Amino acid sequence: MFDLVLGTNNAKKLIELRLMLPAEHYSLHSLAEIPDSIDVEETGETFSENAVLKATEQAKHLGRWVLAEDSGLAVDALGGAPGVYSARYAGRHGDDEANNAKLLSELADVPMEKRTARYHCEVCLSDPDGNVRITTGGVCGGVIRTEPSGSGGFGYDPLFEIREYHKTFAELDLTVKRALSHRSRALRELLPKLRRLISQQ
């Protein structure tokens, strides 16, 4: 059993991470379960830099293996915004409703064919000394709708349509979303590397 701290306080991200990391092989802990965990400031200019910061700083502080991720939305018509500011696009961190409203406002005059976007996810595994041991990434392409639809998911999911399904991430069931999402793609790339690393410990 490999002891692993999941470096996030986002409950919905934790659900996705835990679904991808089978409990029979990993002893998983969220930051909310660890009283002395720290809040790592996301000062990186890329998703990858932020994932590394969150994994390595938390690992050094706790002296434990930490898996952290950073993810967000990049909209072509906005030059890649909101990007690393996705969670705080409208000002307050984690205000999904305000972030979605701002995104719709920014895209108000943009025609549907130019509302292409991608979800990005970068994942980093740090050892207890703060050394980066694995990094992976995943991308999922779609288009931003003109109004939200669906009650599932979080973040920009009610606006992010997967064209092949003609549904937003918030309308898709979790099984389908797991197969397609940027986070799942990053974790699928991570898992064989993680298994190899564990076998060498």
What CATH number did the domain enclosing 52 receive? 3.90.950.10
Q: Which of 3, 36, 39, 70 is catalytic?
A: 70
**37 — phi, psi (to 5°)?**
-70, 160
pLDDT at 110: 98
Active site residue 127: no
pLDDT of amino acid 60: 98
34 φ, ψ (degrees, to nearest 5): -120, 105
Q: What is the pLDDT of residues 159-190, one digit of tens each?
A: 999 999 999 999 998 888 888 999 999 999 99
Which residues constitute the domain of residue 50? 2-199
pLDDT at site 89:
97
pLDDT in tens, 106-159: 999 999 999 999 999 999 999 999 999 999 999 999 999 999 999 988 899 999
Q: How far apart are CA 70 and CA 54, in angstroms?
A: 8
Q: How many domains does the chain have?
A: 1
pTM here? 0.92
Q: In terms of Cα–Cα distance, which of 137, 145, 92 is closest to 115?
A: 145
